[in-house]
Copies of this chain bind each other. A is one copy, B any other.
Amino acid sequence: MKTSTQAEFKPNFRYLRLADEIENKIMEGVYKAGEKLSSIRKLHDQTGFSITTVYQAYIELEKRGVVEPREKSGYYVKPLLRQILTSPEMKKPLAVPRKVTIDSMAYSIVEAMSDPAMLQLGGTSVVPDLLPYKQLFRPVKTISNSNLKDIITKYENPAGNYQLRRQLAKRSLGYIQNSTVDEIVITNGCIEAVSLCLQAVANTGDTIVVESPTYPWFLQIIEDLNMFALEVATDPISGIELESLRKALEKNDVRACIFVPNFHNPLGYVMPESKKIELVNLLNNRNIPVIEDDIHGDLHFGKTRPVPLKAFDKKGLVLYCSSFSKTLSPGLRVGWAMPGVFLEKVKRFKLNSSIASPTMNQFIISEFLKNGHYDRHLRRLRTALKNQVRNMALAIARYFPKNTKITAPEGGLILWVQLDEKLDGVEIYEEARKRKIAIMPGFLCSGSKSYKNFIRISCGNPWSEEIEEGIITLAKIINGLL
């Protein structure tokens, strides 16, 4: 990854540099899972760093979920996510545009996935205690009357609050070089951004390429707009298969694509940078717009934030979409789009469909960014999610049948689990629901009803005995159905 595109700058503490160095060596395979690391004293002798610095580095690595202490024995390397289980196999979908019809079951699954009475392994929300809701709210408590008057009694600019757009333009500097305040349109969450962008680039009857599997919501938007979804094969490590995409573009009149190149939902991969460049060039050359959902982009487990496709776009054909629903607040509904050459159309659709997003919510996020709280918060959140995802994967490896396969996400909070071919994710979903556990059956991630024997497990909750119990219950259900 290019350092020029690094989004985050850490303070230059020695223990952090040491921790980075050790983590890199673990990632490169220099230290293997289960291996004991040098003792503190030995590393002190070896490196010249003080005892305190070495100790702090190990504590930091423990926080990052990379090493674990064993009593009276020292620090050991934890298994890397990638080594826990093999990756799922992806289906090669038939390259035929499909009229999507999500059955009525989808709505009841969505309800289950947001039911607080259930153990949530279904919805992709982060647990409330990991979100800085009191800090977010602080500027509201001390708001001036004149500010309040503006916020309540006026329509916001249809493109969004200027201060918030300025903060967003500043933030994206690290990874989208040409972003400007004027190209940003604030939306009610990422979904509205994607929906407005899709309306801007395509019409009824048009064919839209999506990854297979894909985020179910995209299929529902495509269905609502009476378009066709064309699913293209995806590699679980590197993302959409360019050769399959090329063929699909040759055989079909494709109007646009919707891709999630960073921490794909449900696969969790980051598309390698060289592949991103190749993908954007391929689509730029054919003048095909691509809607990029980067909602999990800030939730990287590695050191640097991956760059989006948008960074390599030469023609303004990448419509970038994101939101703060996974990182700060789902309830505030603040997302945004950077729609490239489709800016005016997206602004128009936003204006016509709801005039503008509410001002208060944009003010809250804008102040949080302005006060510099976001990066600090993200560091804490990323470490928590990394641990949650790893612990969930370990538990699945431990309790599920031996032929289970699982993704190794490099960010985000989702695991994609492949089960025995005889199994049906919907049956597992229904049995789990009876026991107050919400999961997502994999078939929702495709209009072709592939992925019957897949389930999606989300890891928004801190690891707990209750979750372990939930995984054990799921394992029992699976074994019972086999």
Contact = CB atoms under 8 A, between A and B. Distances in A.
A349 interface: yes
Most buried by B among A187, A204, A358: A358
Contacts of A148: 133-134, 137
A180 interface: no
A224 interface: yes
Interface string A391-413: 00000000000000000000000
B107 A348 contact: yes
A152 B140 contact: no
B137 A189 contact: no
A210 to B, nearest CB: 15
A226 B145 CA distance: 43
B128 A189 contact: no
Interface stretch (A153-161, A311-319, A371-379): A153-161
Contact of A355 (B107, B154, B189, B203): B189
Interface in A114-129: 114, 116, 123, 125-126, 128
A356 interface: yes
Given A331-B359, A352-B220, A360-B361, A128 B114 contact: no
**Copies of this chain present:** 2
Contacts of A195: 352-354
Nearest to A114: B155
B189 A152 contact: no
B134 A353 contact: no
A128 B110 contact: no
Contacts of A189: 354-355
Contact of A141 (B128, B141, B151): B141
Given A358-B361, A360-B361, A131 B114 contact: no
A422 interface: no
Nearest to A187: B354
Contacts of A199: 224
Contacts of A355: 188-189, 191, 330, 333
Interface in A193-243: 195, 199, 203-204, 217, 220-221, 224, 226
A331 B128 contact: no
B107 A131 contact: no
A107 B116 CA distance: 43
A141 B148 CA distance: 12
A58 B110 CA distance: 59
B145 A128 contact: no
A463 B355 CA distance: 27
A221 B154 contact: no
A148 to B, nearest CB: 6
B154 A125 contact: yes
Contact of A358 (B134, B204, B331, B351): B331
Contacts of A330: 153-155, 355
A149 interface: yes
Contacts of A333: 354-358
B125 A155 contact: yes
Contact of A351 (B110, B125, B141, B354): B110
Interface string A143-172: 101001111111110000000000000000
Nearest to A328: B152
Interface string A439-460: 0000000000000000000000
A469 to B, nearest CB: 23
B152 A332 contact: yes
Interface in A342-372: 348-349, 351-361, 364
Interface string A315-337: 00000000001000111110000
B151 A331 contact: yes
A329 B126 CA distance: 31
Contacts of A332: 152, 358-360
A274 to B, nearest CB: 35
Given A107-B348, A114-B155, A358-B331, A353 B149 contact: no
Given A107-B351, A188-B188, A332-B358, 16 more contacts: A110-B351, A131-B152, A133-B149, A133-B151, A133-B153, A152-B329, A152-B332, A153-B329, A188-B357, A189-B354, A191-B355, A204-B226, A224-B352, A332-B359, A333-B355, A333-B356
